[in-house]
Amino acid sequence: MPRPAEPISAIKAQQLRQLLSNLVKWHHLDDTPNRILNQGTILKPDRRSGQLKPRSGTFTSGLIATLESGQQIVLYQTDIGHAGELIDEILRLRHSGLAKPTIMCDALSRNLPTVLDETQRHDTFCNSHCRRGFVDVAELHPDKVPWVLALYDPVWHHDAHCKKEKYTPAERLAYHQQHSLPLMAQLKQWGEAQIESGDTEPTASPSLCLSLSGRLRGRHAMVA
């Protein structure tokens, strides 16, 4: 039976981050809003520009780290910061010369690491997050969203088939590449056409644009 989480010291936390940074094959991460009652606004450097900016949003970031052995470690951190900042803390300790880590998250830039560029990591983005973005704006775009959701339906059926047949991760990936990737290619092509034609206006529906851009950025999810 799994042991409940216990508070750990700063030294143990550093040791754990170093362990995660060097032995992990997969990093699955996300965050969700939370509260720290006595937490006020702080100045924090922007991860990309280094410019100090006032920050007040508190989030709990969660990380599931899958080691080469298959063992999983779950790490939570609640502070003024996003999941991308947590993964930066971990990857900053990673030894050079190791194989590229695989990062699994939604396609929001705030959740992506900045200490490794795109050539130093494998990014895989979440189709559940992307599909949910379209569902959220379905009533606003009845002429566009139903087609997208219909395109997604077989992908979910394909994954259910893989689970039913108890495919290995490699078999599951190969099955999706054969059956789901052509559908995702259609969605990518449609999304690019929507953006290039100007039919999708950011000021009119930011969430639809976010869904589109997330799908386009996540185009490698079925490949790698």
pTM over 0.75: yes
pLDDT in tens, the chain (224 residues): 555 555 567 766 777 777 777 888 889 999 999 999 999 999 999 999 999 999 999 999 999 999 888 889 898 999 999 999 999 998 988 888 888 999 999 888 888 999 999 899 999 888 888 888 889 888 888 888 899 999 999 999 999 999 999 999 889 999 999 999 999 889 888 888 877 777 665 555 545 555 555 555 544 444 33
Task: Report the sign of the C-alpha dihedral through residues 48, 9, 25, 159, in that order.
Answer: negative
Question: DSSP secondary-structure letter at 86?
Answer: H
What's the start-to-end Cα distance of the chain, in Å? 33
Q: Counting Cβ atoms within 10 Å, is residue 26 exposed (0-12), middle (13-18) or buried (19+)?
A: middle
pLDDT of residue 166: 95
Tell the residue number behind the tokens 């709990």, with chain if given. 60
Name the residue with tokens 């979440």: 126
Look at residue 188 in the predicted model and tell me its pLDDT: 84
**Structure tokens that stand for 146 in this block:** 């139903």
Determine the Cα–Cα distance for residues 156 and 159; give it in Å rounded to an integer.
Answer: 5
Residue 222 near residue 181 (C-beta atoms within 8 A): yes
